Amino acid sequence: MGEEVATLYGVRGTPTTFFINRKNEVIWKTSSSDKTDPRFELALKEIIKK
């Protein structure tokens, strides 16, 4: 089952982090742990907006 999910979401490595909005849409996917990436903050803002 894990391989099917990985294929479905395009996971190519671990760890992979997904940001999913309130509409259950993947808005950003990353395999990086770089917290200084500006897309990280943009994804967080998108997730918490109402």
Summarize pLDDT for 12-31 with one digit per residue, the tens: 766 778 888 888 888 888 87
27 contacts 41 by C-beta, under 8 angstroms: no
- pLDDT (0 to 100) of residue 1: 65
Nearest to 39 by CA among 28, 48, 50: 28
30 contacts 21 by C-beta, under 8 angstroms: no
pTM above 0.95?
no
Range of the domain at 19: 2-48
Q: Cα dihedral angle (43, 46, 47, 50), rounded to 10 degrees? A: 170
As a whole number of angstroms, the distance between CA 17 and CA 45 comes to 16
Number of domains in the chain: 1
